[in-house]
């Protein structure tokens, strides 16, 4: 599959995940669909993200060296936090405005890392080109 196809899968997962959170926080007693959507969204995000990583492996190795770049590791930690947050939401440990702020902040942090791909101690992109 192409890089663009993996990106589309990744975005579909993001939309599904946030739709599931919206359904979960709606307040109805039926959360089965939200939990299913949450799991499918997380799976699509993982599939698309690692597919894009595989397609860009040569570029990332030239820029960052071997291993995962730091920004990608942070995105994986955010993915884990979004995955675990459904437990906190279902048990009403986080709810209301606090839940929305946390979920949106995690999403925004992940988007920032994807757009900027900061070096964070890794070899900067300019050094790889020289």
Measured between alpha carbons, how far is 1 from 105 in angstroms, rounded to an integer? Answer: 31
Question: Which of 10-19, 34-43, 110-119 has the weakest average pLDDT?
Answer: 110-119
Q: Model-level pTM?
A: 0.81
Domain span at residue 50?
A: 3-129
Widest pairwise Cα distance in the chain: 58
**Model confidence pLDDT, tens digit, residues 1-13:** 899 999 999 999 9
**Number of structural domains in the chain:** 1
Q: Can you tell me whether residue 126 is helix, strand or coil?
A: helix
Q: Are 30 and 58 in contact (CB under 8 A)?
A: no
């Amino acid at each position: 599959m192409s890089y663009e196809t993996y990106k589309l899968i990744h975005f579909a997962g993001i939309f599904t995940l946030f739709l599931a959170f919206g359904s979960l926080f709606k307040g109805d007693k039926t959360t089965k669909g939200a939990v299913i959507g949450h799991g499918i969204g997380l799976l699509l995000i993982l599939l698309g993200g690692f597919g894009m990583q595989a397609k860009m492996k040569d570029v990332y190795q030239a820029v960052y060296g071997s291993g995962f770049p730091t920004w990608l590791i942070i995105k994986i930690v955010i993915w884990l936090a979004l995955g675990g947050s459904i437990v906190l939401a279902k048990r009403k440990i986080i709810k209301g405005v606090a839940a929305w702020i946390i979920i949106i902040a995690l999403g925004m942090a992940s988007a920032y890392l994807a757009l900027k791909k900061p070096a964070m101690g890794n070899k900067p992109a300019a050094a790889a080109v020289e």
